[in-house]
Amino acid sequence: MYRKDTQKFRVRPFKEIKDIIDAANTRELIDDRVFIADGNALVLSTAKLIEIMNYLNEKCKNLKRITMYANIGDILRKSTDELSELRRNGLEMVYIGFESGDDIVLERIKKGADFKETVEASKKLKQAGIKNSAMVLLGVGGTDRTKEHPYETGKLLTETDPEYVGVLSLQLRPGAPIYKEWEEGKFELPDKFQLIKELETLVENTELTNGYFYSNHISNFLPIKAKFPEDKEKVLKQIKEVVKAHDESLLRPDYYRDVINQY
């Protein structure tokens, strides 16, 4: 995540964190929800996270929900007891970038975790009572893995059974390693209807016991909001109709999807 020379990872001193919380609280910017930033706050020790959450609960009387990003390695490095302690102190949900369930793709993008490890980490979260919001990425397998990537990702989502699934579509951005591969002709991004076909395969192979499945992120061509399992067949039919029609008017316009230049 931190690739530029000006982007160096550091852990903020607790006093600095307290000052940020105090300032936000004084300006009434905190209501009932807090997201602990930045890219992967779960890398902090359990003791430090609890110290932060205790201070939040002390200062923010209406606080009901604390969330943060996490990665698979940091979940696995914490014991189930540690994760349960974080839950008792207010951690309700973590956001995890699964990206793919295809181990070949995960190795290519240097994700740092494979299918088996992601399943193991997700089981630990369930045991601890922490909700899992999993993010997956259409197109990241390129055209050569455009069948395997969504199929294996659906299998992974079924195995991990997250409470929330957020689907995004890969957009190539200068500076990212995959952008250089694209420039060199080593990576080919699936076209918009190939991405919709990936979404179809993903939905077909995803079974959730009680989860929300969203593809309404700005990067996607076809926004979907569904509750699984009850809405699965309905949205699958919608996706299949779009694939069959091959009509760009049914898709979100490219200018609206321009994440890179809009942020």
As a whole number of angstroms, the distance between CA 167 and CA 6 comes to 30
* Residue 109 DSSP code: T
Instruction: Kindly compute the dihedral angle of the four CA atoms of residues 111, 113, 119, 125, in this order, to the nearest 10 degrees.
Output: -90
Read off the pLDDT of residues 54-83 as tens digits, 9 standing for 90 and up.
999 999 988 999 999 999 999 999 999 999
As a whole number of angstroms, the distance between CA 65 and CA 63 comes to 6
Structure token pair of residue 89? 């102190």
Read off the pLDDT of residues 181-205 as tens digits, 9 standing for 90 and up.
999 999 999 999 999 999 999 999 9
This prediction has a pTM of 0.92
Amino acid at 202: L
- Map out the domains of the chain with their CATH numbers: 13-70 (no CATH), 93-245 (3.30.750.200)
Selection from 214, 209, 216, 213 nearest residue 252 by Cα: 216
- Residue 33: how many other CB atoms lie within 10 Å: 13
As a whole number of angstroms, the distance between CA 64 and CA 49 comes to 16
Confidence (pLDDT) at 111: 95
Selection from 41, 49, 38 nearest residue 87 by Cα: 49
* Mean pLDDT for all residues in the chain: 93
As a whole number of angstroms, the distance between CA 258 and CA 134 comes to 23
**Residue scoring higher pLDDT (60 or 8):** 60
- Residue 228: how many other CB atoms lie within 10 Å: 19
